[in-house]
Amino acid sequence: MGYAALQWVDTHCHLDAAEFDADRDAVVRRARDAHVQQIVLPAVVPANFEAVRALAHSHGLGYALGIHPLYMHDAGPGALQAVRDALRQHRDDPLLVAVGEVGLDFFVPGLDRARQEELFSAQLALAREYALPVLLHSRRAVDRVLMHLRRAGVRGGIAHAFNGSAQQAQACLELELRLGFGGAMTFERALQIRRLAAELPQQALVLETDAPDIPPQWLYRSAAERADGGGARNEPAELPRIALTLGALRGWTPEHTAAVTAANARAALPKLARLMDAARPD
């Protein structure tokens, strides 16, 4: 298989973000030109559910619906019912591949942890009810996220931007989760992330950009540069180059890296696998 035949999967990209307003269609074209076969678009709050769904349908991409812990205060008192209603309405949509982005964030100060856990638990119950995997946000909260998954009986999905310990990674694998690696892995000082990327079982690994966030090392700008208007925007077309870092850490060819990470994405998100199969030419 030649390099041009490689097919990549970006398992986490916020294509609806305002940073893409000026050239969103061009961003998707660049991703396609870079052989990014699929991109998964997670919602973060009910107000953007329809925009995310419409984008997915416009470009044949997978999407997920859920309330992100950082946006729980923007979601409003009827937010959980809105998630329930949207999942019920779109349950037969082949592009709806997961519940997400959901989880816990114990890193950002001032967030109500009890409310986060209440909302997360309720959304896990919905994931189980609708037999969907989950796209998980977890900062400084991996153990609590795992506890809620076990309690809810939810198995399968992706722990986005994983940055836990080797023991926590193993606990994720026991719950049939895959672990997302992206731009952070490209920084030589990210020793823990790079060690995990190099040493975890190959079936654990999926690739992501989290675009427009978490730019890789070659796009990074200092705080001073960002203050001067020099901020860097990540995008899905960067995924193949990010993947080369994973390949270098593990001693893999690009062909093997693409095959393994795509297979893992398909296993983590079964409806995405069906979507990818349906898009293949006869």
CATH, residue 158: 3.20.20.140
Task: Give me the amino acid identity at 247.
Answer: G
Per-residue HEC secondary structure of 69-127 comes to HHHHHHCCCCHHHHHHHHHHHCCCCCCEEEEEEEEEECCCCCCCHHHHHHHHHHHHHHH
Q: Is 51 contained in some domain?
A: no
- The confidence score (pLDDT) of residue 4 equals 47
| Residues making up the binding site | 12, 14, 101, 137, 160, 210
For residue 89, tell me if it sits in a domain.
yes
Whether residue 70 is contained in a domain is answered as: no
* Residue among 137, 167, 258, 152 nearest 205 (CA): 258
Q: Is residue 106 part of a domain?
A: yes
pLDDT for the residue numbered 213: 97
Number of domains in the chain: 1
Residue 229's CB: how many other CB atoms inside 10 A? 7
In this predicted model, what pLDDT tens digit does every residue of 69-124 receive, in sequence order?
A: 999 988 778 999 999 999 999 999 999 999 999 999 999 999 999 999 999 999 99
Is 217 among the domain residues? yes
Cα 85 from Cα 194, distance rounded (Å): 40
Beta-sheet strand order (sheet of 134-139): 8-10, 36-42, 62-65, 96-105, 134-139, 157-159, 177-181, 205-207
Would you say the pTM of this structure is higher than 0.85? yes
Q: How far apart are CA 105 and CA 141, in angstroms?
A: 6
Model pLDDT for residues 242-269, shown as the tens digit of each residue: 999 999 999 999 999 999 999 999 999 9
Instruction: Kindly state whether residue 169 falls inside one of the protein's structural domains.
Output: yes
Q: Per the omega criterion (within 30 degrees of 0), is the bond before 212 cis?
A: yes
Nearest residue to 207 (alpha-carbon basis) of 237, 246, 174, 168 = 246
Amino acid 281: pLDDT: 62
Q: Is residue 152 part of a domain?
A: yes
**pLDDT value of position 75:** 78
Annotated binding site for a divalent metal cation: which residue ranges?
A: 12, 14, 101, 137, 160, 210
- What residues of the chain score a pLDDT lower than 50? 1-4
Q: Within 13 A of 141's CA, how many CA atoms are on the CB side?
A: 25
Residue 33 maps to a domain: yes
CA angle at residue 128 from 122 to 132, to 5 degrees?
110
Query: Is the separation of the CB atoms in 122 and 80 below 8 Å?
Result: yes
Domain containing 256 equals 9-43+84-279
User: Angle at Cα 237 formed by Cα 235 and Cα 238, nearest 5°?
Assistant: 75
